[in-house]
Amino acid sequence: IRPQYSPWYIAYVLVFNILVAPVFSAGALTSERERQTLELLLTTQLQPWQIMWGKLLAGFRVSYVLTMFLMWPMVLAFVLAFQMYHTNWLAVLAFFAIVFTAAVFNSVSALLCSAISRKTSVAMLLSYSMLIVVYFLPVAAWYVASSVGSDESSLQLLSWIKLAGIASPLMACFWIPLDANILDAGMSTSVSGSATTGGDWLMVLIYFAIAFTSVLLMLAVISAFLRNRWGMTGR
């Protein structure tokens, strides 16, 4: 990986996880309904949070391991291009943190869709739709707005789109600041202009805060659905 293209590669890894996470998590609860085993599961002595964490970890561990297989080039690049990456070790850690956070968010959102849906196909469709809205719409809006012009109104629109894209890891990986030794190696990367402006750690931290808050809220909703046993079984 050329150092200046690191955010692009992380975006590719994120897209891969977006594709695989719903496959392993969206059917976690709907498959129980379809096999008519959900009622039996809810009558056991397992607490709702135990069922939730069991289903979540079962799907997350597979999708996350598959995703991490794509991260070895980043480790290899850090070792082989250490003279460029050694001052950017914090950025490398941030890239890994974004991938982990996005993987957790994707699996939890897929599990939420499984909790509120009756069929696996509906849960997967709902999960992919949610991820497309959260992840890709801000990127598409940024691309369209940045190609309009550079007048004051366009710049103001770009600033609003930047705020709207806080929840998207595809935007966050371009906000990570990179030191000059990487940028001088092949100048600029970016969808969001972060590589040429030095990035914005504040936006990255806000992304992590929003992502983990969203995960906690979704887990609370899933737990509430599992406590409402009659609602889960459709009676």
pLDDT score of 152 more than 90: no
What is the band of 199 on the pLDDT scale with cuts at 50, 70, 90? confident
- Angle among Cα 25, 29, 30 to the nearest 5 degrees reads 100
pLDDT score of 227 more than 50: yes
State the Cα–Cα distance between residues 6 and 8, nearest whole angstrom.
5
Mean pLDDT of the chain: 81
Residue 178's CB: how many other CB atoms inside 10 A? 26
Per the structure, the complete domain to which residue 198 belongs is given by 3-233
Residue range 87-99, pLDDT digits in tens: 778 888 999 999 9
Residue 200, helix vs strand vs coil: coil
Q: Contact at 8 Å (CB) between 11 and 172?
A: no
Tokens encoding 209: 């805060």
Q: What is the mean pLDDT of residues 34-61?
A: 85
Count how many domains the chain has. 1
State the Cα–Cα distance between residues 200 and 171, nearest whole angstrom.
11
pLDDT of residue 219: 94
